[in-house]
Amino acid sequence: MTASVVRVPDLDLESFAARAEKWLTESVPARWRESRGRLSNEESDELRRDWDRKLWQGGYSGLSIPAEYGGCALGLAEEVVFHVLAGKAQAPDGFTRVGKTLVAPMLIKSGTAEQKAKYLPPLMRGDEVWCQGFSEPEAGSDLANIQTRARRVEGGYLLSGRKTWTSFAQHADWCFVLAQTQPDAPRYRNLSMFLVGMHQPGITLSDIKQISGAVHFAETRFEDVFVADSDRVGEDGEGWKVAMRVLGDERGGVETASRYVEIRSDVDLLIRTVGDRPALTARLRELDVRAELLRWQLAKVVDREVGDPERLLRSASVLKVMWSELWQDVTRFGLEVSPAADRDHWQYQYLEARAASIYSGTNEIQRNILSERVLGLPR
């Protein structure tokens, strides 16, 4: 079985894919492609920042974002196809991913005209990086239990609390933060969403080193940080509603598209490694078939479910469980059977894959969502 581009019977999409593939071939820096995984943090950060700007200059930034905010005004289908092609071309993962996949849709759905005009164009240009301030030491799956508080003051709020696992915090100019604003209101109606500048007094970061050795996130402390009223998204007390929409976007097709390419490439490496060793072929075939099923599921989402937000939301949970568990099984198998020459690759992938069933909502939570919303089982 060989990997191929997600196929949808749409001529425009095919011509878009051909154009994007050509641009990616010409634009991905050779330095990144050739030295993947062996660059210093500084070199890697620089190439990732440059990539955000190249996307903008090339006309591939914010593919599904309306043109008035600096996007390309295409659809989710183009976004997914582009991520598949970018993965195949071994393009860098820019720093604007959180901003483009979470903040932009959030502001488009729930932001004011001023917020969209202020925040979206610099994000599309690759000039400003965003991070997500949801999780806390005592609130992950149970997000409604967050303790970070925003206290009313003249013209806005003073924000205090501790967020953790904040991806990209070290590079971020802005953070979107969920905080309690109405301590006496009922659960789910006591929260608000804020857009918080990261370069101001009262914010401290502590790096968190991952099991793979990478440092992709931090603990973020806020101590009496001022946030203006104009930087609250939605009404005071509507933060939960805004956050739930964000989480739907987080688990969607774009993340799966990038992961699918990585998994497919690792399964192909395993096929070459295992050869015709009979004792291993049954396990290998199972992984190969699951990778193909993931591609079908992704293609189905692009083909039939774009434009149907409720179906898309359910599919997002299915996709998240499929790719994260497949990635873990593929990398575990790789570590068991790989020759010494490939050991570094598999060890890194294996450790990176551990976190996949935790972030964007754990797989247990995805299964809860599916059992309640798709199967209609009681809570």
Ligand X SMILES: Cc1cc2nc3c(=O)[nH]c(=O)nc-3n(C[C@H](O)[C@H](O)[C@H](O)COP(=O)(O)OP(=O)(O)OC[C@H]3O[C@@H](n4cnc5c(N)ncnc54)[C@H](O)[C@@H]3O)c2cc1C
Q: Determine if 248 is a binding residue for ligand X (CB under 6 A).
A: no
Between CA 97 and CA 95 the distance in angstroms is 6
* Of positions 273, 361, 366, 369, contacts ligand X by CB under 6 A: 361
- Could you tell me which stretch among 61-69, 82-90, 131-139, 284-292 binds ligand X (CB under 6 A)? 131-139
Binding flag, residue 132, ligand X (CB under 6 A): yes
Q: Which of 253, 281, 263, 261 is nearest to 329 (CA)?
A: 263
Q: In this complex, which beta carbon is closest to ligand X, that of residue 287 or of residue 356?
A: 356
Q: What are phi and psi of 300, to 5 degrees?
A: -65, -40
8 Å CB contact between 98 and 168? yes
Closest CA to 79 of 312, 371, 341: 312
Applying CB under 6 A, the site for ligand X has a residue count of: 19
Residue 368 is a binding residue for ligand X (CB under 6 A): yes
CA atoms of 326 and 324, how far apart (whole Å): 6
Q: Which has the closest alpha carbon to 134: 103, 99, 101, 164? A: 164
Q: Which listed range, 20-28, 165-173, 221-229, 320-328, lies at the site for ligand X (CB under 6 A)? A: 165-173
140 binds ligand X (CB under 6 A): yes
Convert residues 319-358 into a mask of x (bound to ligand X by CB under 6 A) and - (unbound). ------------------------------------x--x
Interaction of residue 134 with ligand X, rule CB under 6 A:
yes
Stretch that binds ligand X, among 161-169, 239-247, 269-277, 289-297 (CB under 6 A): 161-169
166 makes contact with ligand X (CB under 6 A) = yes
Footprint (CB under 6 A) of ligand X, residues 33-92: none
Catalytic residue among 136, 250, 305, 352: 250
Please identify which residue in 16, 165, 176, 194 interacts with ligand X, judged by CB under 6 A: 165
320 HSE (CA, 13 A, CB side): 28
Which helix (H) or strand (E) segment is 2 a member of? none
Q: Does 359 bind ligand X (CB under 6 A)?
A: yes
250 a catalytic residue? yes
Interface with ligand X, residue 260, by CB under 6 A: no
Alpha-carbon distance of 119 to 110, in angstroms, equals 13
**One-letter amino acid identity for 127?**
D
Look-up of token digits 């490496």: 269
CA gap 213, 234 in Å, rounded: 38
Nearest to 136, CA basis, from 149, 126, 123, 124: 149
| Residue 178 per-residue DSSP state | E
State yes or no: residue 217 binds ligand X (CB under 6 A).
yes
- Using CB under 6 A as the binding rule, whether residue 362 contacts ligand X is answered as yes
Site residues (CB under 6 A) for ligand X? 131-135, 140-141, 165-167, 217, 355, 358-359, 361-362, 364-365, 368
Catalytic (active-site) positions: 250
